[in-house]
Amino acid sequence: MDVSETIADGKRCTIEMYERDPEEYRGRIQCVECKKKAWHNRAYILVKSGSERVACFGARHVEGCEASTVKHEFTDGLDGEEPEQSHDIYIDLDKAKIQSYLVSPPSDKKERSQTNWGNTKSVIEIGGNSLFPASKSLRKILSYLDRNENFGDKGQTIKIVKDSGITLIDGQLKDYLVKFEDIKREHLGKQKIFWGTINNVNIKDGTLWINYGDNRNTYEPSIKCDEEFKFDLMKNFNVSDVMDLGGSDVIIVSRLGYSTRGKPLIHATFTKYMSFRKRERVN
């Protein structure tokens, strides 16, 4: 999209307007047609191919939205729906392999003259070749949630452990999964698996804020990452610029807190407690 609109009053926002004053529009824009939250994708040049990618707005459009001019999709080999019979889930965070937040394109797409992210690391899934192996990663859970946000409603149980067997989570998956927009006061202080879309990020006084929406309001949640964690995140997930996380999906195991303003905050502690996925631009 070349044009978005402000969520509060529907005022027009062009790429030029956003880039002149990003603080005015970051986290406050949406698609002009389907009204889904939007984010800004920067312009850049892919060094190896020499191709140029122009700036645009992205959004998780409603299917068939005519405002969608660029197609993004995950290409990590998880085509189709999740298995009909899903076994119980076990995740050992100490054995989970850190993966790039970028989803690698399949081999037939690697020769595109314009790829969205250039060279990316291959995705290594935890577990065997069965449809839903006993040992899993947060990344794969996020993959299935993206295809079906009600994935956890099949009666599966989940156990997540750390530090040689210390249990973080043990019970019904549906009781622990919380989508960002469903966060409530009743979740305060409880260990949950929070997930959803990152619409913008910002850095203030060295702290990285990963935001579901407008970081200035008091009802949309943010993930708080201190300066040391920010560097670990960039290294472990192969992120060259944290601003590129806009538009990604994220999943994180943490406890919910609230700021003095009443804003829901999810505090990031270790990178092994979270995972990201980002769609590839395919046209």
- Mean pLDDT lowest among 93-97, 123-127, 178-182: 123-127
pLDDT surpasses 80 at 75: no
Task: Tell me how far apart the alpha carbons of residues 263 and 257 are, in angstroms, rounded to a whole number.
Answer: 8
179 burial level (CB within 10 Å; 0-12, 13-18, 19+): middle
Structure confidence by residue, pLDDT tens digits, 129-160: 333 333 468 988 998 898 888 999 988 899 99
pLDDT surpasses 80 at 122: no
Confidence bin at 97 (pLDDT 50/70/90)? low
How are the residues of the chain apportioned to helix, strand and coil, as percentages rounded to the nearest 5?
20, 30, 50
Q: What is the pLDDT of residue 85?
A: 45
Task: Tell me how far apart the alpha carbons of residues 208 and 228 are, in angstroms, rounded to a whole number.
Answer: 10
Task: Tell me how far apart the alpha carbons of residues 25 and 4 are, in angstroms, rounded to a whole number.
Answer: 10
| Strand-pair category, 191-197 with 177-179 | parallel
Q: Which amino acid is at 151?
A: F
Domains in the chain (CATH in brackets) are 3-70 (no CATH), 89-281 (2.40.50.140)
Confidence bin at 101 (pLDDT 50/70/90)? low
Task: Tell me how far apart the alpha carbons of residues 280 and 265 are, in angstroms, rounded to a whole number.
Answer: 29
Cα dihedral across residues 53, 55, 60, 65: positive or negative: negative
Residue 278, C-beta contacts closer than 8 angstroms, at least 6 positions apart: 101, 102, 103, 117, 244, 245, 247, 248, 249
Take residue 2 and report the two structure tokens written for it: 């070349």
Task: Tell me how far apart the alpha carbons of residues 64 and 112 are, in angstroms, rounded to a whole number.
Answer: 25
Confidence bin at 118 (pLDDT 50/70/90)? very low
Task: Tell me how far apart the alpha carbons of residues 93 and 54 are, in angstroms, rounded to a whole number.
Answer: 38
DSSP one-letter code for 107: G
pLDDT surpasses 80 at 109: no
Confidence bin at 64 (pLDDT 50/70/90)? confident
Task: Tell me how far apart the alpha carbons of residues 123 and 107 are, in angstroms, rounded to a whole number.
Answer: 13
Q: Are 91 and 136 in contact (CB under 8 A)?
A: yes
| Strand-pair category, 264-267 with 249-258 | antiparallel
Q: Are 239 and 233 in contact (CB under 8 A)?
A: yes
Confidence bin at 102 (pLDDT 50/70/90)? low
% of the chain surpassing 90 pLDDT: 41
Q: What is the pLDDT of residue 124?
A: 29
CA-to-CA dists, residue 28 to 12, 104, 105, 150, angstroms: 12, 30, 31, 27
Structure confidence by residue, pLDDT tens digits, 4-60: 999 999 999 999 999 999 889 988 999 999 999 998 887 765 555 556 678 888 888
